[in-house]
Chain A
Amino acid sequence: MAKAILVDTSKCIGCRGCQVACKQWHGLEAEPTAFRGSYENPPDLSARTWRKVKFIETAKQDGATRWRFLSDACKHCTDASCLAVCPTGALFHRPWGAVDLDQEICNGCRYCVSACPFGVITFNERTGRVDKCILCPDRVEAGLAPACVTTCPTGALSFGDRDQLLGRAKERVVQLRAKGEKGAELYGERELSGLHVLYVLQERPQVYGLPEKPRFAAASVFPGFLMSAVASVVMGVVALVAFRERGGRGEE
């Protein structure tokens, strides 16, 4: 049974409890940061920050600032680009949907880093391997929720069967729209054949830095090789003609 996290942005208060709980459970170091004009901190997901709350400032109609929050981490895609391009098998799917990462096997080639459509997976300079949210498989397979979900005080994060959460997310979108939140929408149901992190958003995905149509990187493998094969045939014919034109086959 596929599991998922549901992120209901309308319930998030930006407390960053999930961000800290993640660091504590996984023993991730603190990140030295500098003030850069936003309460959002650190600026990006990294090898030691696997989950962070995005603080997005939008303007209300009267010009006043309105906060939008997004607890952001790996989306655990079904069509996971990182996993598809991984040459070592370090990245793999858990049967319940998580995209897990075996640190012993990763050799630090960084292909996954360039392939992730969400910019999640990051190279760790210290270990020479990559890092990202692995959806707490140790907790989940012991019947617990991931650390971030367990700590969330408002119910913005929940964990459970994906199908059930999908139903709840759709209900929530209807509810929000009825309350006047016209921009409310669901993200993650069909993207990349289904994400294992579902989002109830209050704005367009781009506002949260989520690509509207995330692309599966490995989709270009077949056409790329096909085009190269065509070019190979062209060059092969040219070489054949170039050498043969001059005749003179035979033994040395």
Chain B
Amino acid sequence: MGKNPVWSWYIIWYFFVGGVAAGAYVTAAFADFFGRKEDRQLAKVGFAIAFPLVLICSILLILDLGVPGRALNMFRLFNWSSPMSVGSWVLLGFGLVSLVSLILVLWDRRGAWRIRRVLAIPGALFGLFIASYTGVLLGATNRPIWAANNWIGPLFLVSALSTGVAALALFSARAKLTGFRQVHLFATGFEALLLVLFLQSLGAGATLFLTGSFAPLFWGGVVAAGLAIPFGFAFLPRGRAVEAVAAILVLAGGLALRYLVVTGGQT
């Protein structure tokens, strides 16, 4: 068993904010490619918020290392067997692509849309990686809860997409979100399934979340706020307030999930 790495709030917030950035960008890319005009309007928001969020991510990671210059050592080499190494490079790539996407949203001339769409292909691939690699990283350790667990990557991925859509919903003035809502509705169900598979894979270890000291946050945060209540809201008459409350609950649930999984492996 490895010692406790003491990954605390900087890392928890990074996992969460990185997921929101990636989730918003990826759904924006799909909306821009396949969606209708109002979907594409909202896609612009996704392209625009990704870069500032990635910037916050890098600040969080640098703060975690303590000595700022040391962050550059992540780019001395490329190590395939280290999700952290691959993740550092992809985060750099995602940051650069999302910066250009942001510029192309601000500089919205004829033709910008075409470049933005082409750029969204590598951007979405990077985004899907950023959304999930943090979970794979935890699996490649020798800590309880995390070790050899292959469900955390998919779980974080799907949660990232649903928190990404939630962030977009907060920014949309009107609630013409049908495509996004469908993605989110499916993600909620898929996340619930992955959560069950994750807990099942933990065996007796799952009691930490189900009945142990983490249970209130698990049931209240991840299950109720993140999944059940927003799912129920989907059947309420649509309105700006309902939309916003659901989005905030989904974001809170996503943060609770990161907190529980990251802290769970360190108790």
- Whether the Cβ atoms of A87 and B147 lie closer than 8 Å is no
8 A Cβ contacts from A49-98 to B: 81, 84-90
CB-CB contacts of B9-44 with A at 8 A, as 1s and 0s? 000000000000000001100110111110110000
Chain A residue with Cβ nearest B265: A114
- Whether the Cβ atoms of B3 and A119 lie closer than 8 Å is yes
Q: How far is the CA of A105 from the CA of B4 in the complex (A)?
A: 21
8 A Cβ contacts from A196-252 to B: 211, 215, 217-221, 223-228, 230-232, 234-236, 238-249, 251-252
Given contacts A107-B71, A224-B150, A248-B36, contact A243 B140 (CB under 8 A): no
Chain B residue with Cβ nearest A230: B154
- Whether the Cβ atoms of B190 and A116 lie closer than 8 Å is no
How far in angstroms is the closest Cβ of chain B from A54? Answer: 15
Q: Is the interface of B mostly helix, strand, loop or mixed?
A: helix
Given contacts A87-B88, A228-B157, contact A105 B140 (CB under 8 A): no
- Whether the Cβ atoms of A243 and B30 lie closer than 8 Å is yes
- Whether the Cβ atoms of B136 and A228 lie closer than 8 Å is yes
- Whether the Cβ atoms of B142 and A242 lie closer than 8 Å is no
Binds B, one of A22-30, A120-128, A153-161: A120-128
Within 8 Å CB of B76, what residues of A? 88-89, 105
Binding site for B on A (CB under 8 A): 81, 84-90, 105-111, 113-119, 121-123, 128, 211, 215, 217-221, 223-228, 230-232, 234-236, 238-249, 251-252
26 A-B pairs in the complex with CB atoms less than 8 angstroms apart: A84-B79, A85-B84, A85-B141, A87-B82, A89-B76, A89-B79, A90-B73, A106-B73, A107-B65, A107-B70, A108-B65, A108-B67, A114-B7, A119-B2, A128-B66, A217-B142, A219-B148, A221-B83, A221-B136, A224-B83, A225-B132, A225-B136, A236-B30, A238-B182, A239-B31, A243-B36
